[in-house]
A and B are shown apart, each in its own frame.
With several copies, the nearest count.
Chain A
Amino acid sequence: MKITNKIIENHGLKKEEYKNIQKLLKRDPNFLELGIFSAMWNEHCSYKSSRVHLKNLPTQGKHVIQGPGENAGVIDIGDDDAIVFKIESHNHPSFIEPYQGAATGVGGILRDVFTMGARPIALLNSIHFGSPTHPKTKNLLNGVVSGIGGYGNCIGIPTVAGETKFHETYNENILVNAMAVGHTKKNKIFYSKAKGIGKSVVYVGSKTGRDGIHGASMASAEFDENSEEKKPTVQVGDPFTEKLLLEACLELMKDDSIIAIQDMGAAGLTSSSVEMASKGDLGIELNLEKVPCRENNMTPYEMMLSESQERMLIILEDGKEQHARKIFQKWDLNFVVIGKTTNSKNLVLKYDNNIEGEIPIDALASKAPIYNRKWVKKKVSKNKFDFKKLKKIKLEDALLKILSSPNHSNKSWITNQYDQMVMCDTVQRSGSDAAIIRIHNKDKAIAVSVDSSANYCKSFPSTGGKQIVCENWRNLIAVGAKPVAITNCLNFGNPENEKIMGEFAECIQGIKEACEFLDYPVVSGNVSFYNGTNNKNIYPTPVIGGVGIIEKLSRPINHNLKKIKSSLILIGKTFGHLGQSCFLKENYSIIEGMPPEINLVNEKNNGETILNLIKKNLVLSAHDISSGGLIIALSEMSMSSKIGVKIEKPKMLRNLNEYFFGEDQGRYVIEIDQKNLVEVEKFLKTNNIYYDNLGITQPKYFEIEGEMKLDINDLFKINEQWYNNY
């Protein structure tokens, strides 16, 4: 087939990139080779627009065993235990086919974790939809939630936490990010680096079909009106087969048969084989006629680019084939030696002994393009927002408005569709600030949470970037965990647009500053660009997934109030920042101003002090204050426990809305047994913590003295109704 300009364009390659290919090959590529270049050089696989910025992120730390660059990050949680985790986007496929898109997103991230030798122990997700009134939203929400549940429930890994948000910026481009967390022993971590020449390259798992051919390039292109018409063959997930693959892989990993292992994710056989060879600085030769195929007459091009799910590539030690084959046969999975490692440093593709394609590995990997794209700084918006001009609103009305809004409604409609309990180590299920998963057979646990704040990031990206790291950090603190490391999924618009690239660069700058200060390194992540339609880009939506350690599970903390007549203390200073707040958005439809500032020094001090109080067993419950401010945090603590509160009006004369709805950062509410109050206050003072005594807990009523008094059951009903009526 002659390579025309049209074909090059259809492969998402720019003219200069094609010239570069010709130069690297010293000839024209054939069609198969072109397909392979296009798969490896697209944004999704090559990170060509993001790399120069990503390398600024802090990736080292005393707990880090493996930072970015492998299938997933690995941290040391003491004893001989290691935690493996990563987050990944599946935005584009989920918009086209929500159930399968979300399901295969979960399947993909699980493979990233168990390829490294870890048994997955928890799933999380961050999902963003368009406006609830948009005609597509309901169907997408339904499909995505049942897809996430469908996969996780079937394979038997609990889905324990996440976030769900609605905003019109996602009307035509939803976000579906899935995170998986696994556990392994420190001496049982598997990597993707090939070693040795003449070693068997083995294909295991499902057969290859014509699924999602060019999925990776699709994820790297903007949608236009025709995308829905084009409807590329979507991948269908098969969680049952994945369960078998998981068990078979873990069984084979018990000894040292495996030299290297890599799942077939985006760009399937191509990227898995190239990555293993590239990391080992070796060549690889594949005999494509051996690839197990689902359909007749599949071409080498289709085999190399298929994104069929539930497949892996393994490089085996000499003489281990029989042993390995037996295991995969036991689990009824395909097991075929399809090639070998070579010293040629080339990817050689043969079909019935004819060479169909031959490309130097470095041309596909290290020599893939890298762009330092132009970007512009975000300008500080000048118009100062004048709070005095707003119509008066009653505290109670504003509270109810927020609690009944889609973004703040109780998420049990979603979380009840996920099996959160399977594996019987879920100490804290969805509904609190972070989920807690016990390490099997031990008295320690990890806490996990995912967070994003697209509004903040849009209005001022560098502050937004800092804020999400801090919010995520706080969520772990609030359940008594020491935050250890994060993974991140960077969902942005078109990087060829200077403003978007600016949002990207500045968000990363913010993330970096916060991570460095909090000693909270990034160990894995994923970038998803081109989220937008017809030049409309989504708000910058970096998502942070954090993991923390709970050394001893004597008393897990959550945000449910524990008893009557205990004291409530607000940690951190309240200034009443309403810019970009949920109060303005839900009550006045105003989206204005700067996001709240982050003071990293206070952030760290507040968090560490709370952690110490928890360790001393002085805290009954804790909740961080985020979107919606103090009053929302208090009402959540009340609703989850059905215990009321009686809050005094602030002593200083101030605007009540600012006080109760302000979104100042670095704050928490903690519940303290009265008998410990003196000790706690003393501790707070010696640690230089700013705090306010808020009031006490009481039966039945959510009360702000002299302002409002509501039955908690009514509050709860209002908070629950939105999803059930949608």
Chain B
Amino acid sequence: MERQFQLNLKKSKLKFSVTVTLKKDVLDPQGKVVLNTLTNLGMTSLQNIRQGKFFEIDIETKDQLEGEKKVKEVCEKLLVNLIIEDYKINKL
């Protein structure tokens, strides 16, 4: 029973990923420090590093479009600070 139930659940679940990055021109203090450190560690061929966030989101739906719409809502409501960040959604 339980397994069957889980299988059903699985079926109706879609997985998305979201990457959130700082907008161009916005200072990325983390990236700056990480790049410096790596350069000091001898990784001289690095030109640039920018750090962002990554989310994996499971949504209860069978419909990819609906799923995407919901993920978008999640992003704009909470995950992303639209004033300084951009984001991208991917279906996994």
Point out residues on A near B: beta carbons under 8 Å: 96-97, 99-100, 206, 209-211, 231, 233-236, 238, 240-241, 294-295, 308-309, 332
Contacts and interface: CB of A to CB of B under 8 A. Distances in A.
A231 B33 CA distance: 27
B92 interface: no
Interface string B49-92: 00000000000000000000000000000000111100000000
Contacts, number: 39
A97 B26 CA distance: 13
B38 interface: no
25 contacts: A96-B83, A97-B84, A99-B81, A100-B84, A209-B25, A209-B26, A209-B27, A211-B25, A231-B82, A231-B83, A233-B25, A233-B26, A234-B83, A236-B26, A236-B27, A236-B29, A236-B84, A238-B27, A238-B29, A238-B32, A240-B29, A240-B33, A241-B29, A294-B27, A295-B25
A564 B26 CA distance: 50
Given A240-B33, A332-B36, A211 B27 contact: yes
A209 B29 CA distance: 12
A473 B51 CA distance: 47
A91 B27 CA distance: 21
A726 to B, nearest CB: 12
A231 B27 CA distance: 16
A241 B29 CA distance: 8
A97 B27 contact: no
Contacts of A309: 27
A233 B82 CA distance: 11
A309 B26 CA distance: 12
A97 B83 contact: yes
Contacts of A233: 23, 25-26
Nearest to A309: B27
A210 B29 contact: no
Contacts of A238: 27, 29, 32
- Among all A-B residue pairs, the 9 with the closest Cβ atoms: A238-B29, A236-B27, A210-B25, A97-B83, A231-B83, A209-B27, A236-B26, A234-B83, A233-B25
A240 B26 CA distance: 17
Given A209-B25, A209-B26, A238-B32, 17 more contacts: A96-B83, A97-B83, A97-B84, A99-B81, A206-B27, A211-B25, A211-B26, A233-B25, A234-B83, A234-B84, A235-B27, A236-B27, A236-B29, A236-B84, A238-B27, A240-B29, A309-B27
A238 B32 CA distance: 10
Contacts of B82: 231
Nearest to A206: B27
Nearest to B32: A238
Contacts of B83: 96-97, 231, 234
Contacts of A332: 36
B36 to A, nearest CB: 7
B62 to A, nearest CB: 22
A209 B31 CA distance: 15
Interface of B: 23, 25-29, 32-33, 36, 81-84
Contacts of A241: 29
A716 to B, nearest CB: 26
A308 B29 CA distance: 12
Contacts of B81: 97, 99
A236 B29 CA distance: 8
A233 to B, nearest CB: 6
Nearest to A240: B29
A96 B82 CA distance: 11
Contacts of B36: 332
Nearest to A101: B83
B1 to A, nearest CB: 16
A236 B27 CA distance: 6
Nearest to A236: B27
Contacts of A97: 81, 83-84
Contacts of B25: 209-211, 233, 295
Nearest to B22: A236
Nearest to B25: A210
Contacts of A240: 29, 33
A211 B29 CA distance: 13
A708 to B, nearest CB: 36
Nearest to A231: B83
B27 A308 contact: yes
A497 to B, nearest CB: 29
A166 B7 CA distance: 50
A456 to B, nearest CB: 35
A212 to B, nearest CB: 10
Contacts of A234: 26, 83-84
Contacts of A235: 27
Nearest to B27: A236
A152 to B, nearest CB: 16
Nearest to B28: A236
A234 B85 CA distance: 11
B29 to A, nearest CB: 4
Nearest to B84: A234
A234 B25 CA distance: 10
| Residue from B23, B29, B32 with most neighbouring chain A CB atoms (10 Å) | B29
A85 to B, nearest CB: 27
Nearest to A241: B29
Nearest to B82: A231
A104 to B, nearest CB: 10
A100 B83 CA distance: 10
A42 B81 CA distance: 29
A96 B33 CA distance: 24
Nearest to A232: B83
A582 B83 CA distance: 37
A72 B36 CA distance: 34
A97 B32 CA distance: 22
Contacts of B26: 209, 211, 233-234, 236
A472 to B, nearest CB: 35
A498 to B, nearest CB: 35
Nearest to B6: A296
Contacts of A231: 82-83
Nearest to A298: B25
Contacts of A308: 27
A209 B84 CA distance: 14
B33 to A, nearest CB: 7
A308 B32 CA distance: 15
Contacts of A210: 25
Contacts of A206: 27
A539 B91 CA distance: 49
B76 to A, nearest CB: 13
B87 to A, nearest CB: 15
B77 to A, nearest CB: 10
Contacts of B29: 236, 238, 240-241
A144 B23 CA distance: 21
B57 to A, nearest CB: 18
A100 B82 CA distance: 13
